[in-house]
Amino acid sequence: MTLSDEHTVLDKVKDSQAIKGLRAQSSARFIDFNPYLLFWIFVVASIIGLILEDIFHAIVYGGWESRAGLVWGPFSPLYGLAGVVVTVFLNRLYYTHNIIIFLFSMVVGSCLEYFASLGMEVVWHAIAWDYTGTFGSIDGRTNFVFGVMWGALGLFWVRGVMPVIKKCAGKIDFKDKTFRALTILFAVFMAINIAVTVVALHRAGDRTHDIPPANQIDVMLDEYFPDEWLQQRFTNMTVSADVGADNAETNEVDSGEAGAES
């Protein structure tokens, strides 16, 4: 092999996707983050994820039903959290190979789905999806097919959405007082939205054990968020005293309606 050939091989190695991915880890971030931007990424991902889930359900199963994850608004916080995690961790790997992005998103999404399912069962005696008996199922909480979907969503997010986020972020004055005030107000709304959702579902879990309201807050929760309302809002969720981490395998949830995260 001549010296010229050696240089040609070295140049090809340097220009390979693997080496570019390694160099990207020490390169400048694709997007410069700040708390305000991360918050809006969470909001946008929550909305986009819910829309895509609604479309998927309508195409595959037919019809429309509420797949929302919070009591107010078109939000699914699981997708929002996944969007933030994928954006932050892949920010320096934007120029890496698509396979790396896909596999990372697949693992992150599957882990979030698994622990979200586990948390709902332990805290609220609720189950929103059950993949038991499907290929690659892990305790019925996630499976291979939806892991692949998480990977595809992550790749779409990195390649399709992150460039838009960067472009929009470049046009926003994050130091503008009006922008900051509106962001803080909406953040307060989202915090209240999440908190009310948590306590409403917790109270629903108490009702499955015939626990009477302990205070005025419980009375209000029973009045404004009764079981019927929660069932309409979270269509694919079942809250029952029989649901729990120790006996999740005994619960039967229609797998045809599974696949949507709250």
Best CA proximity match to 237, nearest among 228, 245, 224? 228
Predicted confidence at residue 23, as pLDDT, reads 54
Q: For position 52, what pLDDT does the model report?
A: 86
Q: How confident is the model over 138-187, as pLDDT tens digits? A: 988 899 999 999 999 889 888 988 899 889 988 999 999 999 999 999 99
Give 129: exposed, middle or buried? Use CB within 10 Å, 0-12, 13-18, 19+: buried
Q: How far apart are CA 245 and CA 108, in angstroms?
A: 21
| pLDDT tens-digit map of 50-81 | 998 888 878 877 777 777 889 999 999 988 98
Query: What whole-number percentage of the chain has pLDDT above 70?
Result: 80
Question: Where are the chain's structural domains?
Answer: 3-257
Q: To the nearest whole percent, how much of the chain has pLDDT over 90?
A: 37
Q: What is the mean pLDDT of the chain?
A: 81
| pLDDT of the residue at 196 | 95
pTM above threshold 0.85: no
Q: Which two tokens stand for residue 206?
A: 């108490």
pLDDT in the model for residue 255:
39
In degrees and rounded to multiples of 5, residue 155 shows phi and psi of -65, -40
Task: Tell whether the model's pLDDT for residue 8 goes beyond 80.
Answer: no
